[in-house]
Amino acid sequence: MTPREPHDGPDSIRIVVADDHPIVRAGIVGLLETAPGIEVVGEAADGAEAVALAASERPDLVLMDLRMPGVDGASATASIVAAGGGTRVLVLTTYETDDHILAAIEAGASGYLLKAAPQAEILAGIRAVAAGETVLAPSIAAKLVSRVRADAASVAPPALSPREREVLVLVAEGRSNPEIAKALYIGEATVKTHLLHAFEKLGVNDRTRAVTRAMELGLL
């Protein structure tokens, strides 16, 4: 665990670099030290050191590798984010499998870049994350989109009863509750009950959103 002496201006982005490979870590530090407005305040060889440096140095950002001995990058990220000190984590790694990506994002990382990315992209990502943005390498973003779509496709839409569907069809036509009750030969209270059940199944709380959500799911 290596704290470093400050050498940049008061408004610089203060960074801890966490990577278990000394040569790789030195290369990252060398890149950052040549970039204006960035100050490396510590170096960590594993996740535990990264967590400790984040607590002691309170950097703006930790540049985090994922696979490290002992405490891995995802676990270290979760600890740093949970500490609530305002330090953000940008993952910089060679790994881009779905499991690695999701573990890092779920742990609270604000960005995920690959070490093979151009230096300008890495520096831009650091500045963006330090400014409060979320940054994902294009290949990572594509994987996440594909994963979300696959997960969404695997979830069966809610099952509306025939009567609930009839009520929503009439709502979509702009009918009021009294008009729906008259059309279906049921009481207004029953119409409201069917609507409330449909709202609950669709995860919405108003008539308009119920109709649009049912349409999105192919139920109408």
pLDDT of residue 104: 87
Q: What is the pLDDT of residue 7?
A: 53
Residue 147 structure tokens:
């994963």
Which of 111, 101, 105, 58 lies closest to 80, judged by CA? 58
Please give the pLDDT value at position 139: 81
Hey, what amino acid is at 35? Answer: A
Closest CA to 15 of 100, 127, 102: 127
- Return all residues near 108 (Cβ < 8 A) that are at least 6 apart: 77, 78, 80, 81, 82, 89
The CB-based long-range contact list for 128-136 (8 Å cut-off, 24+ gap) reads 129/61, 129/88, 129/90, 130/13, 130/60, 130/61, 130/88, 132/88, 134/110, 135/90, 135/110, 135/111, 136/111, 136/112
List of E strands, 59-163: 61-64, 88-93, 111-114, 135-136
Q: Are 181 and 172 in contact (CB under 8 A)?
A: no
Q: How far apart are CA 27 and CA 198, in angstroms?
A: 58
In this prediction, the residues of the chain whose per-residue pLDDT falls under 70 are 1-10, 145, 148-149, 151-156
C-alpha to C-alpha distance for 128 and 5, rounded to whole angstroms: 24
Question: pTM for this one?
Answer: 0.65
- pLDDT for 163 equals 94
Whole-number pLDDT of residue 219 = 85
| 68 neighbors 18 (Cβ within 8 angstroms) | yes
pLDDT of residue 148: 65
Q: Let me know: does 207 contact 177? Beta carbons within 8 Å.
A: no
Residue 182: the pLDDT is 94
Q: What is the structure's pLDDT at 151?
A: 66
